[in-house]
Structure 1
């Protein structure tokens, strides 16, 4: 099997879809469940630069949430603010799309990797602001609470939001680098023969 051909194939989003299906049911995770990988999934999906994949993943996220709620998960977050998950995930997708162009930029591998993780952290922060800010404004759950009180209440979620996304990002980035290294080794063996 030619790994380079696999990296360019339409089948590569399957692991991203699987990651979202397997982790979306538990936002921050627990002893038995991995944290939600959705933000990292949308980031890596941006590498494919296909808007249909973005639309598919948005529909899949909504379907997973529907199934989870139908099976007893709390519907607390399903308010008019739920629609703002579209720009939240679009930020991640566009950051991934931009990151995919970084390979053509000049710089060392370390510089490009740090840049990619920095972009992931920035996009994750913006996604946190969009999703939580829209929940405050449009959910009607915090009408008696000021912005500062709300920020104080949700600030403790930010480190979990950021760390789980960065961990998935680092693991995903390392897997891509590993696959590319294996592909380069395979190509080198074919050239020598």
Structure 2
């Protein structure tokens, strides 16, 4: 991703993806899973040079969508079940996904079996850390959990980890397929363009 136009296009697609799917976050899993975690990982991968402002922009968008969904239901944002002091743990949670994308990009030289392995590691590790912050913040700092215990936290973490990993992996896999297709198209287009220049 080396041009401003490409980055603008990617950022626009990530904004649309989060806006289209995040409204399900308060029912946990709707017809289409929430893509927010994948959006931040893909943002780290594709928008590395814009991290300083693209990450805060997507963070503000996430909170804004939450506020809009809650207030549209006629509820006060700050009194909602999902909004507690632990809600702000979403910042380090989503930063974990972003850093996973940055690490992936730093080690990416093109589609390969090794790259696929690194992708799997990045998705699992970043999702595990993101879930640690997001779920842990809610479990330990929300009044909704009357008597938090380590055993209860561990069970809750385990119960929700695979559904979140599955949803995140689905969106990342779609993006990875698109990346490979784009690389193949570019690789085949380059010799054709070179031949045309020679003929001209």
**TM-score where L is the length of structure 2:** 0.85
**Per-residue displacement from partner, 1:52-72 (whole Å, max 9, x unpaired)?**
100000000000000000112
Supply the distance in 2 between the matched residues of 1:7 and 1:119 (Cα, whole angstroms). Answer: 27
- Aligned alpha-carbon RMSD (Å): 2.2
The corresponding residue for 1:14 is 12
Match 1:125 to one of 121, 124, 128: 128
- After the TM superposition, which parts of structure 1 deviate over 6 Å for at least 4 consecutive aligned residues? none
Measured after TM superposition, the shift of residue 12 of structure 1 is 2.0
CA contact (8 A) 2:24 2:33 kept: yes
The corresponding residue for 1:97 is 102
Measured after TM superposition, the shift of residue 101 of structure 1 is 1.0
Is 1:148 matched with 2:147?
no
Q: How many residues align?
A: 187
Is 1:158 matched with 2:161?
yes
Gaps of 5+ in 1: none
CA contact (8 A) 2:139 2:145 kept: yes
Change (3 A) 1:162 1:4: same
Partner SS for 1:172: helix
Gaps of 5+ in 2: none
**TM-score where L is the length of structure 1:** 0.88
Supply the distance in 1 between the matched residues of 2:181 and 2:169 (Cα, whole angstroms). Answer: 18
Matches within 5 A, 1:66-145: 66-72=67-73, 75-104=80-109, 109-145=112-148
